[in-house]
Amino acid sequence: MVLNSEQKIELFDCHVHPDFSLDASGTIEEYCEKALQIGLKGICFTSHYDIDPGRKEIDAFMRVKGRITPLSQETVEIYLEEIEKAKSEYESSGLKVKTGLEIDYSPHIEKQLREDLLKLKLDYVLGAVHCLEHIAITSSEEAYFYFERKSAEKLCEEYYTNLLSGIKSGLFNAVAHLDGFKKYALDYYGEKLLETERKWIEPVLREIKNNQIGIELNTGWFRKGKRRFFPDEHILKLANEAGIKLAALGSDAHRVDELGLGLIDAANYIDENKLQFEPFLT
């Protein structure tokens, strides 16, 4: 796919998982080459940063030079150094390369996250809620263990309570896939989930506004062949009415061939609907 360079909105993919994440493939250099090939203005790497002690055996790793290594400040620094190297290597070609992490937020790890992030030199922190009660509700392999035990009301309450606390923490530059819990939950609970969710949207948007952080327009499902955004169009509209600006576009690529997928659609959608867009990374 070649991106159309006539977009009014510049295509900067701010949600990319290189092979440092265990669930991803493709080196930083391979991603940068691909970014040039498809005409992106920039790329921000956002490896998973998952430190929940309750999931230590599952998540707390990074792949460093092909080896699975426990997540630590040292491993993250190796990752960041590699991005910094790419930053200078690609400068002359005009491609902007940025350092970032996608942190998995939960209130019980907020203190640790704060301490860890203070030590790292990052251009961008993407905040996400992937797990409830230590179960990855955004993973097709784990989500149903959670759904089977919970009502739609409980799911929305637990997801949005965690997200609200994350927004108030001040740790995020932008909220990743704001309603990402709906990935598998919408099929499981059906359309009534949208009704149940409704009362949470207004307080979440209010806190985003109060804390002056942005929302990512995530096109992660385009790589699964589904043409839908996170957050969904209803929430995007309400956010815009509330004066909240979109801060980033993100493909959530986990493989090199997924880089930039859906970003043209996202940029067109922003244009057509006159959504406020103020990129955090430029």
**At residue 19, what is the residue type?**
D
Task: Map the footprint of Zn ion across residues 200-259, applying CB under 5 A.
Answer: 252
Shortest distance (Å) from residue 151 CB to Zn ion = 24
The 3-state DSSP class for residue 49 equals strand
Residue closer to Zn ion (CB basis): 6 or 141: 141
Shortest distance (Å) from residue 102 CB to Zn ion = 5
**At residue 216, what is the residue type?**
E
CA distance 98 to 86: 9
- Binding part of the chain for Zn ion, among 28-36, 173-181, 194-202, 221-229 by CB under 5 A, reads 173-181
| Residues 98-127: x where in contact with Zn ion by CB under 5 A, - otherwise, as a string | ----x-------------------------
Write the DSSP string, 85-131.
HHHHHHHTTT-EEEEEEEEE--GGGHHHHHHHHHTS--SEEEEE--E
Under the criterion CB under 5 A, does residue 142 sit at the interface with Zn ion? no
- Binding part of the chain for Zn ion, among 2-10, 80-88, 94-102, 195-203 by CB under 5 A, reads 94-102
CA distance 243 to 79: 36
Residue closer to Zn ion (CB basis): 54 or 89: 54
Query: Judged by CB under 5 A, how many residues of this single chain contact Zn ion?
Result: 4
Shortest distance (Å) from residue 46 CB to Zn ion = 6
Q: Which of 128, 132, 213, 249 binds Zn ion (CB under 5 A)?
A: 128
For 101, how many CA atoms within 13 A lie in the half-sphere containing its CB?
24
Residue closer to Zn ion (CB basis): 181 or 189: 181
Cis ω for the linkage preceding 231 (within 30 of 0): yes
| Residues 51-70: x where in contact with Zn ion by CB under 5 A, - otherwise, as a string | --------------------
Shortest distance (Å) from residue 98 CB to Zn ion = 15
- Binding part of the chain for Zn ion, among 4-12, 111-119, 168-176, 185-193 by CB under 5 A, reads 168-176
Per-residue exposure over 193-211, b if at least 16 CB sit within 10 Å of its own CB, e if not: bbebbeebbeebbebbeee
Residue closer to Zn ion (CB basis): 128 or 132: 128
Exposed, middle or buried, 97 (CB in 10 Å: 0-12/13-18/19+)? buried
Instruction: Find residue 103's DSSP bridge partners.
Output: 49, 127
Contact residues: Zn ion, CB under 5 A:
102, 128, 176, 252
